[in-house]
Structure 1
Amino acid sequence: MISTLLTRRDAEEKSVFGAKKFVENSMKDIRKIVGDRRVISACSGGVDSTVTTVLVHKAVGDKLVAVFIDDGLRREGEPQFVVKTL
């Protein structure tokens, strides 16, 4: 039982460390690519584009302009949530 708990804990630590390292490396790459330019991110409100937009914002800050267009096809309240999140 202790072995199982230790193995689980090690796996959780590795996954958290892996995610942190991914974010750090991604932010470094984004900054390198962007340089001193501005960035536009079109965000659909889905997981992929939202995570990407947040990651780019963490990397470049105010140089990001996030764009979300309410096409009327989203669930009730979802457009407001996306705008609030971004």
Structure 2
Amino acid sequence: MIIDLKNLDLIPLLLKEIKELKQDILNIQNKNKPNLTKLQNVAKYLQVSKTTVSNYIKDGRFKENVHYKKTIVNKMVKYNFVESAIIQFKENL
């Protein structure tokens, strides 16, 4: 059996094009993303419930001062999410 290896030279080019297409897809998705500083929008972006996002906070998948900042206003806890960290979290799912 004879194997023609001349097409192996195309593999690096194909990998580069795949990476570029993946980045293009991410850019398009990011243009259409909601304001990711609010819990409701984070849940929608990650395609999970608000309860699941709260569980991410409780179980440590979301880290304070990395994925979100916690503030207390009138004895109520308010979470402000960090958009870049949420996007990175989704990419790593």
Normalising to structure 2: TM-score of the pair? Answer: 0.39
Q: Which has the larger radius of gyration?
A: 2
More helix per residue: 1
Greater relative contact order (CA < 8 Å, ≥ 6 in sequence)? 1
Normalising to structure 1: TM-score of the pair? Answer: 0.41
